[in-house]
Every structure is written in C-alpha cells, then in structure tokens.
Amino acid sequence: MATKEVDILIIGAGPAGLTAGLYAARARLNTVILEKGRHGGQIATTALLENWPGTIRTSGPELTDRMKEHAEHFGCQIVRDEAVEVDFSGYEKVVKTRKGDTYLAKAVILAPGAQPRTLGIPGEREFRGRGVSYCATCDADFFTDCRVVVVGSGDAGVEEAMYLTDFAAEVYLIVIHDEGILDCTEVVKERALSHPKLKFKWNSMLHEIKGDDGVTSVVLKNVKTGQLEEMPTDGVFIFVGTVPQTDFLKGKVEMDDRGYIIADHVTLETSVEGVFAAGDCRQKYLRQVVTAAGDGATAAVAAERYVREEELFRKEVLEQEVPVVLGFWNPFVEASIPKVALLEQLQKEFGDKIKATKIDTYRNQRVPRRYEIKKVPAVVVLKKGEVMAKLEDFDYEALKEAASKALV
C-alpha cells in the first residue's frame, strides 16, 4: 500500500486510455494508466479488424499491443490494478485501488469503457470474435454473401440488421414478440417490415450458439410453445444494449440515466474540473476504435492544458502572499479595454503591496467560469485565494477602494 503522486491518471487501457497515455506521456507529464484486466478493451477480443485507418487487416490484440508499446515508449506506466473509489472534490484528485494504493493526480482521464450486454447463453462466449459479434459496423464485411441472425428488436438491433442486408445474403431478425411487434420507433419499424431482404423469426429467442472453428448454427426457442429449432447460420449479431463500466463513478461526475458520462463536446471535460472522459464510457454517437482513440488524444491534450494552466494560476494567483486583483477583459468587447487599463494604474500606485493580473476571457474561459464572470469588464479581488470583492461596474476609485480593503 502506497500513496503515489502523478500528473495524469488514466483509468482504463482500451484504445482511448492507451492513446491518452501516449499523448500525455509524450507531453512530458508523469502518466499512469490503471487497468484491471488485459489492456485493449473490447477490441482485444476481435480476431480480425479492417477499419483501422491505414491498416487493411489486423487483429484487435495486435493493434492494442502496438498501442501499449507506443505509450510505454514515451514513458507511460501501465499498472494492473482497479480503481474502486474516487474523490474529485479537491485540487488533487484522489483515486484508491483494489490493491490498496492511493493515487493523487493533478488531472484524471476516465476511460473504463463499456461492455456489450450479453445473453449469457451456451456458445456465446466461446464464439465471440469467431462468428459472434456485437458490432455490425466493425464486422459486417466479414459476412458478405453469408447467412446471419440478429438479436435485438430495439432501434439499434433493427437498424444494424438493415445495415447487414447490404453485405449478407440472408439476414434473420430474432424477435421475442408476436408478428409485427418490434421495440423500435415507428419510423424504423415501418422501414424494417417493408425491407425486401430482412426476414423475421417471431415469438423466438436465442437458446444456444453452435459451431466448431466458427459459428455454424443457432438453436431458437419458441417462447409460446417451448419448441426448439436449429437453424444454420454463419454469424450471430447481438444488440441488446451496452453497459458502461462506470458504477464506481456514481455521484462523482454527471452521468445520464444509463450510466454514460456526460462530457463537454469540445474538451471532453466532465462536470468536474480536471476530470475528463474518453471512449465508450461517455455519451456519444459512435463507439468505434477510431473514435475512442480520437477521444483519448483530445482528453489528453485538454488535460495537459488544464494541468499547465492550473499550476501557473495557483503559483501566480492563489498562492500569492499579497492581494491579487484579477481584471477580466475581452479584445472584442471594446468597453473592457480602457477599464482593465486601470489595473496598470492601480499597480503603479500600490507597488508590490498587490499584484494586478489581466485575464483575457476570449482565450481563457476556465478562470472566468470559476468566478462566475458573465460579462466583461469585471474585477475580482483575492486574498490568499479567497474572494474579497467582485466588481462589474467600476471606476478607478471603486477599484482602489476594493484593493485597499483587501490589504487590511
């Protein structure tokens, strides 16, 4: 058991976490990735991958092995351990692990991923990546001119089934309901029922998946009669939802009702300053290896900028022994320019008794957000980090009075 201080702590070593580790370590930040299992995430179970840009054909393990090696090359440390408890309330983010270690991080990137919701039937686990898939976008091309079955009658399942008809010779949608009843929206339902290449197995559920080197057949069970039917097939696509691995984050960052982390769409920062989310764990449109890697790069660059800016702000503002006068301005707000010029006059009059600093709200949005600056010009007077005064409509005399009071 030990307490370890790091610059960037990344939770999860899938494509998002490994890419974030590469970028953060390459920026000369002390970076650690925590991963409870094998590195690589979901894609590590995929035998064949053809949609990673620039690589026509590879495997999930091969690709993620290269990602791991790349991150470690620049000094990223990958630790086999699981984050079980977090405290993001302070400047230092605290993460405790199952092995009993405590990490103190200046910034955290959450990349624990998500797992496809499984059926738990015989053969499902054995043939995953060998005929059983949870991603049509990833694997449809492998089943060109084949017969496949699709499980899941919600929007995702039905839309993916229709997508598969562009590749497979036959696509059967396994539906637990009576004929004509689907769980998707009406628009999707109408398209599916009128689709010339989509076939249905009503009142049915998947009971077992069979095969040898790959999937060769499935056993269907009629939910009304209990009768079993074996059906030849080359592939099984399962779309019954995904489960984000975010239980340990409940109440710590904002999440939607399904447990996906809500993050800023530009910086990927969560509802907590200095905590970012990347990859399949966050609320997003597309969950693919390439989008996870993109998230990892974005989150790492944003986290690096946060760490650098926060360190500078703490040194130059929060840890100053003398009162600090922050003047907020924007070069595109003409009225703010002469107002913040008063700061120079104030600094000359008070000398080294105070420190006057200008904040350009066009370039720096974090500090204005911290002090709830809604418009410029504005001034905040701080004494050892504590807000002593906040002025929005001010002249030099009001500015001087606020600075004088902070000196008392």
By annotation, the residues acting in catalysis are: 135, 138-139
Residues 314, 287: contact at Cβ < 8 Å? no
**3-state secondary structure string, the chain?**
CCEEEEEEEEECCCHHHHHHHHHHHHCCCCEEEEECCCCCHHHHHCCCECCECCECCECHHHHHHHHHHHHHHCCCEEEECCEEEEECCCCCEEEEECCCCEEEEEEEEECCCEEECCCCCCCCCCCECCCEECCHHHHHHHHCCCEEEEECCCHHHHHHHHHHCCCCCEEEEECCCCCCCCCCCHHHHHHHHCCCCEEEECCEEEEEEEECCCEEEEEEEECCCCCEEEEECCEEEECCCEEECCHHHCCCCCECCCCCECCCCCCCECCCCCEEECHHHECCCCCCHHHHHHHHHHHHHHHHHHHHHHHHHHHHHHCCCCCEEEEEECCCCCCHHHHHHHHHHHHHHHHHHCEEEEEECCCCCHHHHHCCCCCCCEEEEEECCEEEEEECCCCHHHHHHHHHHHHC
Give, in degrees to the nearest 5, the angle at Cα 246 between 242 and 250: 130
From 202, 239, 199, select the one nearest 222 (Cα to Cα). 202
Distance separating alpha carbons of residues 346 and 374, to the nearest angstrom: 23
Cis peptide leading into 112, omega within 30 of 0? Answer: no
Buried/exposed 112-126: b ≥16 CB within 10 Å, e otherwise: bbbebeebebebbee
Distance separating alpha carbons of residues 135 and 160, to the nearest angstrom: 8
